């Protein structure tokens, strides 16, 4: 996917989950920007280079959306929580994404309700076998290992349980992690943050819920699915030790 009207800026602070202050590199202006990721990301540290998308909508409270940041000032990471579903939709429709047990995908329907959950995608393969797929964006990365989640997520836990119930009902079911950075060795679950999710995913895998992951090529103005990444539930994840960028008033 391509972002229009991107401006580079230096991150200053994040007073709450929804907004940040950044200084535009080209003009020096300090602007208030909407953060398109309400999680506890550690990427946003003072002085980090960020990518802001300018929006001319007069009804908006902020003129910019913060969509990416340069981790350790070396590598871009996309933190737009809406982006993973967009690139996955294209990946499914073009059969770029390879799902275990499926030769090719013939039908893709975004945001489908099943039982008491709203799952990201429903579809069917070339043999007309129905499937459900839930997408999770991953922005927690250290030393080539990516991990999900960046905060406890009862909603994510419920989605995994719904995929298990779908398998019990005869559907194919997939949990797809989109790692919003490149050159990732493995992806896992951060048990220190939410061990209950790791336990549930292990149960889901034993029930034949497939766990798939892809990393992405990231630039300030683009996010493109790249290569499959192994999912390893037993991989230990060590946090980078940086503090969350969310200010005290949001805690």
2 DSSP β-pair partners: 222
Please tell me the distance from the alpha carbon of residue 149 to that of residue 72, in angstroms, as a whole number: 20
Check whether 242 has a pLDDT greater than 80: no
Residue 231 pLDDT class (50, 70, 90 cuts): very high
3-state helix, strand, coil in the chain (%, to 5): 20, 40, 40
Give the CA distances from residue 207 to residues 57, 85, 160, 163, 228, in Å, rounded to whole numbers and listed in that order. 47, 25, 11, 10, 22
Write down all domains in the chain, each with its CATH number in brackets: 6-76 (2.40.50.580), 83-228 (3.40.1350.60)
Average pLDDT over residues 214-234: 98
- In the predicted model, is pLDDT for residue 8 greater than 90? yes
* Residue 246 scores a pLDDT above 90: no
Residue 102 has pLDDT above 80, yes or no: yes
pLDDT at 248: 39
Question: Distance from CA of residue 108 to its chain's centroid?
Answer: 20
> What pLDDT, on the 0 to 100 scale, is given for residue 247?
46
> By the 8 A CB rule, do 192 and 227 touch?
no
Q: Give yes or no for residue 250 having a pLDDT over 50.
A: no
Whether 57 has a pLDDT exceeding 90, the answer reads no
Please give the pLDDT value at position 245.
64
Specify the pTM: 0.93
Record the tokens describing residue 237, joined without a space. 């994840």
Q: Which comes out higher in pLDDT, residue 117 or 41?
A: 117
Give residue 42's pLDDT band: very low, low, confident or very high (50, 70, 90): confident
Q: Which residues pair with 211 in a beta bridge?
A: 175
pLDDT confidence of 38, banded at 50, 70, 90? confident
For residue range 103-153, list pLDDT tens digits in order: 999 999 999 999 999 999 999 999 999 999 999 999 999 999 999 998 899
């Amino acid at each position: 996917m391509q972002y229009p009207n991107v401006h580079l800026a230096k991150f200053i602070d994040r007073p709450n989950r929804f907004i940040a202050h950044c200084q535009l590199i080209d003009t020096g202006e300090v602007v208030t920007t909407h953060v398109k990721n309400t999680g506890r990301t550690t990427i946003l540290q003072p002085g980090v280079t960020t990518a802001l998308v300018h929006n001319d909508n007069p009804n908006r409270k902020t003129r910019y959306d913060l969509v990416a940041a340069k981790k350790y000032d070396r590598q871009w990471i996309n933190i737009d929580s809406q982006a993973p579903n967009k690139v996955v939709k294209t990946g499914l429709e073009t059969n770029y994404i390879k799902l275990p047990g499926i030769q090719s995908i013939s039908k893709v329907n975004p945001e489908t309700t099943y039982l008491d959950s709203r799952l990201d995608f429903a579809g069917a393969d070339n043999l007309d076998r129905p499937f459900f797929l839930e997408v999770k964006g991953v922005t927690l990365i250290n030393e080539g290992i990516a991990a999900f989640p960046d905060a406890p997520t009862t909603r994510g836990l419920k989605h995994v349980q719904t995929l298990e119930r779908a398998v019990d009902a005869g559907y194919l079911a997939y949990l797809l992690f989109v790692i919003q950075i490149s050159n990732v060795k493995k992806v896992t679950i951060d048990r220190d943050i939410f061990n209950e999710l790791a336990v549930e995913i292990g149960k889901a895998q034993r029930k034949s819920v497939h766990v798939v992951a892809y990393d992405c090529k990231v630039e300030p103005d683009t996010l493109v699915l790249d290569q499959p990444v192994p999912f390893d539930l037993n991989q230990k994840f060590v946090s980078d030790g940086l503090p969350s960028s969310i200010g005290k008033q949001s805690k």
